[in-house]
Amino acid sequence: MPAVRGRGWRSDDDALPAQPPLSSGNYLAEMAIFGAPALVALALVFGLVWLRSRSSSKEMRDIPGTMGWPVIGETVSFISDFSSPAGILSFMRDRQKRFGKVFKTYVLGRITVFMTGREAAKILLSGKDGVVSLNLFYTGKQVLGPTSLLTTNGEEHKKLRRLIGEPLSIDALKKYFDFINELAVQTLDTWHGRRVLVLEEASSFTLKVIANMLISLEPEGEEQQKFRANFKVISSSFASLPLKLPGTAFHRGLKARNRMYEMLDSVIARRREGGEVRNDFLQTLLGKHAKDGSADDTADKLTDSQLKDNILTLLVAGHDTTTAGLTWLIKFLGENPEVLEKLREEHLEIKEKLNGTAHLRWSDVSNMPYTNKVMNETLRRATILPWFSRKAAQDFSIDGYEIKKGTSVNLDVVSIHHDPAVFADPERFDPDRFEQTFKPYSFLGFGSGPRMCPGMSLARLEICVFIHHLVCRYSWKPLEDDSSVQPTLVRMPKNKYPIIATTL
Ligand code: HEM
């Protein structure tokens, strides 16, 4: 989710924007710009949050764990482990050994309880009895708006899911297939013999796909460039200090969001006037439109604000995740030649049936069993969203510990995905392990329950099509051997995976 989402952090109430982001990049740049006053302000905010957290930690007295250093808690080791090849797994393993499956810690400006295992996943993800709600961080909440799928809960969330889920269903995606297929071919046309940063190519491909699918934006031209520029600013504002001062990433993000909304307003106005009718997501939702302020909660209609907030939400939630998924998959293939060979066989067989044309068909995509296993194994090994963040909506107990209403609770997914009792030799990249079906809550690549990813079919479609053309046309070699990870909310290779590709 950005960065999608700050599945990591939000403030307990919006009046106290206390959550610093995971990424330290913008953070440090901002401190350099604003100098001492920013440092003092930051120290004050952290100090206040820390003091407040100390009092709430009394309520969690019985939960094992350590709060680390005053004010910063365990943030430093958390961030440094996050960026290491093993990710937060080492942070989690170390504390699970000392404290067990449920432990408290103080990271990134908040006291939080981490928990892992299928039982915890069931409690946090099944949505049963409204035990938890989503725990979005302050800046993310402000940028996405109050009617985003990610900022709503309960009945309102259910209604939005229903309306948004329909145009993202497999049947509805069929109409975008030709666009995705042609764009994958065009993107790969330029790869032969040059240094390619896979992450950047994947990012451009996935943004063009989603922008075309949502509002029929052409993949090239000035509008696309403006759209991309605004999106980048919005995206990086998720990982910024919650300071609304001119020049800060958060402030720039809010401004870029306003520009994006102005653009959407004019597209919506043109559609309403009847001057333009397109076969896209927006058109489908315009058919379910209600005037702002007049939406009846029970009606299947969306206001303009809901439309815009949720178009932005899909962009933010769908772009970095799919970019990361595609990049990790290509990286794992590069590191596991026997898997690449087997995958290539599957795709060359499909290609043979097509008599060598580039015209992959919709029906071919549903017939790529090994590719789907490779994708699942990629999402398991990389665990793009390493934890899912929730807030206790009522008191509940787990493993004999009482979790009080209002507590920030994180499901540690990375440990679930590396449990040797479920995934033997968990560090090995072995797609064949997905020949068997796992027990519920063992594999959470796209989540589970009422918040499960509504973009799963789109992500799978994009990745299958891109990988088909890649493995049928090229072999490639990595240009660097570096496994570190970007310190952003969605895990991505830090060096963007530079390769040189050669036509087969
Ligand atoms: C490989 C690509 C993707 C991965 C790995 C992924 C993963 C996930 C996961 C794990 C969740 C649940 C998180 C939680 O429970 O806290 C989620 C939710 C979500 N995803 Fe995805 N996603 C991907 C692609 C997409 C795409 C393409 C879209 C949109 C077009 C999308 C939109 C969303 C939205 C809106 C949510 C929030 C749902 C809700 O709160 O009801 N995702 N995703």
How confident is residue 241, by pLDDT bands cut at 50, 70 and 90? confident
In the predicted structure, residue 498 carries a pLDDT above the cut 60: yes
Averaged pLDDT, 259-271: 93
User: Of all atoms in ligand 1, which is nearest to the CA of residue 448?
Assistant: 15
Ligand 1 atom closest to 210 (CA): 30
CATH number at residue 422: 1.10.630.10
Mean pLDDT of 431-439: 96
Say yes or no to pLDDT of 258 above 90.
yes
Q: Is 453 annotated as a binding residue?
A: yes
- Between 16 and 58, residue with greater pLDDT: 58
According to the model, what pLDDT value does residue 57 have?
Answer: 63
Residue 397 lies in a domain: yes
Mean local confidence (pLDDT), 393-410: 92
Going from the Cα of 318 to the center of ligand 1, the distance in angstroms, rounded, reads: 6
Q: Is residue 33 pLDDT above 50, yes or no?
A: no
- Tell me, what's the pLDDT at 276? 79
Q: Please give the distance, rounded to the nearest whole angstrom, from the Cα atom of residue 314 to the centre of ligand 1.
A: 9
Q: How far is the CA of 280 from the centre of ligand 1 (A)?
A: 20
336: which residues sit within 8 A by CB, 6+ positions away?
429
Which of the listed ranges 142-151, 155-164, 288-297, 468-477 does the model predict with the highest average pLDDT?
A: 468-477
> pLDDT-based confidence at 16, cuts 50/70/90?
very low
Confidence of residue 79 (pLDDT cuts 50, 70, 90): confident
**Local structure of residue 409 (DSSP, 8 states):** E
pLDDT surpassing 90 at residue 181: yes
Asked whether residue 12 is assigned to any structural domain, the reply reads: no
User: Residue 452 CA: which ligand 1 atom is closest?
Assistant: 12
Residue 11 located in a structural domain? no
Residues 330-350: tens digit of each pLDDT: 999 999 999 999 999 999 999
Per-residue model confidence (pLDDT) at position 2:
35
18 within domain boundaries: no
Distance 220 CA to ligand 1 centre (A): 26
Atom number of ligand 1 nearest to Cα 325: 1
Q: How far is the CA of 101 from the centre of ligand 1 (A)?
A: 25
Q: How confident is the model over 94-147, as pLDDT tens digits?
A: 999 999 999 999 987 778 999 999 999 999 999 888 899 988 878 888 999 999
CA of 169 to the centre of ligand 1 (A): 14
Q: Which residues sit opposite 501 in a β-bridge?
A: 192, 476
> 459 near 318, Cβ under 8 Å?
yes
Q: Which atom of ligand 1 is nearest to the CA of 375?
A: 1
Instruction: Please report which confidence band the pLDDT of residue 174 belongs to, taking 50, 70 and 90 as the band edges.
Output: very high
The proportion of the chain whose per-residue pLDDT surpasses 70, expressed as a percent, equals 85
Nearest CA to ligand 1 atom 23: 321
Full residue range of the structural domain in which residue 205 is found: 25-503
Report residue 18's pLDDT band, with 50, 70 and 90 as the boundaries: very low
More confident of the two residues 314 and 139: 314
- Ligand 1, residues 7, 122, 166, 321: which to mutate, most atoms within 8 A of Cβ? 321
Q: What is the pLDDT of residue 424?
A: 96
Q: Residue 411 Cα, ligand 1 centroid: separation in angstroms?
A: 15
CA distance 202 to 200: 5
Over the chain, what is the mean pLDDT?
86
Nearest to 167 by CA among 305, 307, 291, 283: 283
Q: What's the pLDDT band for 44 if we cut at 50, 70, 90?
A: low
pLDDT confidence tier of residue 58, bands split at 50, 70 and 90: low
Q: Pick the range with the lowest mean pLDDT from 187-201, 349-363, 433-447.
A: 349-363
- % of the chain exceeding 90 in pLDDT: 64
Residue of 4, 383, 417, 453 with the most ligand 1 atoms within 8 Å of its CB, for mutation: 453
What's the pLDDT score for residue 323? 98
Q: How far is CA 78 from the centre of its chain?
A: 19
What are φ and ψ of residue 398, in 5° steps?
Answer: -145, 135
Mutual angle of helices 456-473 and 177-189, in 10-degree steps: 40
Residue 191 buriedness (CB in 10 A; 0-12 / 13-18 / 19+): buried
| Band (49; pLDDT cuts 50, 70, 90) | low
Residue nearest to atom 2 of ligand 1 (CA): 322
Residue 225 has pLDDT above 80, yes or no: yes
Q: What is the mean pLDDT of residues 479-490?
A: 89
Those residues whose C-beta lies under 8 Å from the C-beta of residue 143, and which sit 6 or more positions away, are 234, 237, 238, 253, 254, 257, 312, 316
What's the predicted TM-score (pTM) here? 0.89
CA distance linking residue 135 with residue 384, whole number of Å: 18
What does the alpha-carbon distance between residue 75 and residue 491 come to, in Å, rounded to a whole number?
17
Q: Of 70 and 173, which is predicted with more confidence?
A: 173
Task: Decide if 316 is inside a domain.
Answer: yes
> Looking at the predicted structure, is the pLDDT value of residue 9 above 80?
no
Residue 278 CA to ligand 1 center (angstroms) comes to: 25
Ligand 1 atom nearest to 463, measured from its CA: 1
Whole-number pLDDT of residue 286: 86
**What's the total number of domains in the chain?**
1
* Residue list, ligand 1 pocket, CB within 6 Å: 1, 7, 134, 149-150, 161, 210, 313-314, 317-318, 321-322, 325, 379, 384-385, 388, 445-447, 451, 453-455, 458-459
pLDDT in the model for residue 43: 61
Nearest to 499 by CA among 341, 467, 85, 482: 482
pLDDT mean over 415-436: 97
Token code pair at residue 164:
């948004």
The confidence score (pLDDT) of residue 27 equals: 45
Q: Render pLDDT for 346-396 as a digit per residue (tens, 0 to 9).
A: 999 999 988 867 689 999 999 999 999 999 999 999 999 999 999 999 999
